[in-house]
Structure 1
Amino acid sequence: MANAKFIFQYPTLAVITGASQGLGRGIATELAAELAEGSLIVASARCKDGLDETARIAKLERRNRKGVGEVEIRTVTSDLSRSEDIRNTMKSCLKDCIPSTFSSAILILNFGTLGDVSKEMCDFRDPDYVADYFRVNLAHIPILTGEFIDWSKAGETKLNTFVVNISSLAAVQPLTCMSLYSSGKAARDMMLKVMTTENINVRALNYAPGPLLGTNITKTLMSTSNRHNTAVNFREMEANGKYLTCKQSAAKLLRLLRMDSYSNGDHVDYYDVLDDS
């Protein structure tokens, strides 16, 4: 079984999808600050400008927090809603990467979309829309994960390999007008659970990051009306200070990885992890 201490004590390769903004950017920044010297972070998303900004912020955070020891940050522009990009993304992310250069490798599966939250489940009548939603949000998970794990096994040195799926409370708790989103997140959780039974030496985690301030998903939830007052409820959460920053959630994910106390394939929520005492 992979050992989490190698992520932070020895050179690590980290691949992060959906890294041009929001939580993906927060995770890239936290990893850049905490990984060992000689590590490599590959940030992937469809927005090049956003990726460039992620790399800039992450490098600055590294200098401010660590001060010494370089961590390389690369960017790969890719749109995981396109089948061709799904086929090519991991190859681009791992180009020229030699497994023996690292002690561990971690894949953060953060890319995903919300879907139409103005509708209840029975309002969806276009099968093409529903099928396309699940294609966009699920198809890349086995492809990227499989190629990543194959790469990690290719070298003579056995890498400590980790896969983190960014999940949601919606994966385990039904939320009105989020039938597609909830079902997609639940399916991703189960994909990783099954993967751990097939690859027992890979450590996997489904991490629910909590309600995040300022992300596109949150903004959409706050502005989309439906019969269940979802937008009002989410705006009230903001007014009552219930949201987390992406930096807070990303830092909690790294704490969870350091603790390494979850069962393989578990769904763990931000609020399940105690803060440092």
Structure 2
Amino acid sequence: MEQQQNIFLKKTFVAITGASKGLGRCIALQFAAKFPVNTVFVLMARNEQALENVKSEITSKTPNVTVLVQQYDQGSVGKDYFKDIFNEILSGNNLSENDFEQFMIVHNCATATDGSKRSLELCDSVEVRSNFDINLTGMILLNTSFFQTFSDSKKSRVVVNMSSISGSAPMTCLHLYCAGKAARDMYMRVLAAEEPSIRILTFAPGVVDTDMLKGVERGCTDDAMVAMLKQFREGGKVTLPEIPISKLVEILEANTFENAVFTESDTLF
């Protein structure tokens, strides 16, 4: 494999979805400390005030990067919602594609499943479609919009696909989430085959103490799954977000990963 350069060395336009809390917030904070001066971060999520709070955290610690906030709902997949979203961010902030050496999008936004229902109880088409809109359809449409704006294949382009072991291991209560993660990972594998110049890291952070995990623990009605999650907590296998994201940073620094191949954090059980 051709020797690759540390991804954090280039002035970069970085978009991060689900950046208002949990893993997304941690990604934004740790990446901001690594990228060079005048890198631009676009923090994307539904809760604009929470994004502003993350922005303040970043700018207080790394004032030499620029942080923009973009209110964004990945489940809004109506006509034209994703069209020109990054062109408008550039023009609205007097930026140009030519200002950057590299472009990165981090697909972190996701939602869990109604854990009170089993697979054969999924009979509401709106509920099923809404879950896939957030976990799959919206991600694909945003990814397309990103690369329509940043189309120069001569420049470095990077995708970080936040994945999960649940994309390959069936987990009760998480039917739609498992299916969505599996589909996202395969989409990335196809993208890697079609566009080999794009660096794609599919990364599974493990069992992380986030609001999503707490929601699954509260809502799951499968006794075996509840017992497994309790065992993880009691056994110290549920980590804070900072731990797997530090591993993610190391992987991007080394830049030896194979495109779109599932990569696990050391914290994975």
Superposed pair shares fold, TM > 0.5: yes
* Partner residue in 2 for 1:33: 33
Deviation at 1:247, TM superposition (A): 1.4
Aligned residue for 2:52?
52
Map residues 155-166 of structure 1 onto 2, 5 A cutoff.
158-166=154-162
Gaps of 5+ in 1: 64-69
CA shift at 1:203, angstroms?
A: 0.8
Distance 1:140 1:94, change over 3 A: farther
Corresponding residue for residue 116 of structure 1: 114
Q: Which residue of 2 aligns with 1:244?
A: 239
Letter in 2 for 1:23: L
The partner residue of 1:190 within 186, 189, 197 is: 186
Tell me which residue corresponds to 1:21: 21
How far apart are the structure 2 equivalents of 1:124 and 1:97? 45
CA contact (8 A) 2:87 2:149 kept: no
Moved more, 142-151 or 192-201: 142-151
Whether the aligned pair in 1 keeps the contact of 2:16 and 2:107 (CA below 8 Å) is yes
Whether 1:219 aligns to 2:217 is: no
- Could you tell me which residue of structure 2 aligns to residue 256 of structure 1? 251
Instruction: Give the direction of change, closer, same or farther, for the CA distance of 1:131–1:221 in structure 2 (3 Å limit).
Output: same
Return the alpha-carbon distance in structure 2 between the equivalents of residues 190 and 160 of structure 1.
Answer: 22
Write out per-residue CA displacement over residues 5-57 of structure 1, whole angstroms, 9 at most, x where no aligned residue.
36322211110011000000000000111111121111111101110111112
Distance, in Å, in 2 between the alignment partners of 1:212 and 1:48 is: 24
Question: Structure 1 CA distance, aligned partners of 2:2 and 2:104?
Answer: 11
Identity %, equivalent residues:
27
SS at match of 2:223: coil
1:240: Cα distance to partner?
Answer: 2.3
Q: How far is 1:149 from its partner? A: 1.7
CA distance in 2, matches of 1:30, 1:254: 8
Spell out the pairing of 1:29-108 with structure 2 (5 A cutoff). Answer: 29-62=29-62, 70-84=64-78, 85-87=81-83, 89-95=85-91, 96-108=94-106
Q: Does 1:171 align with 2:167?
A: yes
Closer, same or farther in 2 for the Cα pair 1:161/1:272, shift >3 Å?
A: farther
Q: TM-score, normalised by structure 1?
A: 0.87
TM score, norm. by length of structure 2? 0.90
| Superposed displacement of residue 94, structure 1 | 3.9
Kindly provide the amino acid, as one letter, of the partner of residue 252 in structure 1.
K
SS of the residue aligned with 1:262? coil
Aligned 8 A contact 1:206 1:265 in 2: yes
Q: Indicate the SS of the match to 1:212.
A: coil
* Pair 1:49–1:212, CA change in 2 (3 A): same
Q: Deviations over 1:206-232 (max 9, x none)?
A: 11111111x121111221241334234
- More off after superposition, 191-200 vs 81-90: 81-90
- Offset at residue 272 of structure 1 (A): 8.3
Contact preservation (8 Å) 2:76, 2:138: no
* Aligned residues between the structures: 264
What is the Cα deviation at residue 270 of structure 1?
A: 0.8
Contact 1:78–1:89 under 8 Å retained in 2 = no
Task: Quote how far apart the aligned CAs of 1:89 are.
Answer: 4.1
Determine which of 146, 149, 152 is the counterpart of 2:147. Answer: 149
How far did residue 130 of structure 1 move?
1.6
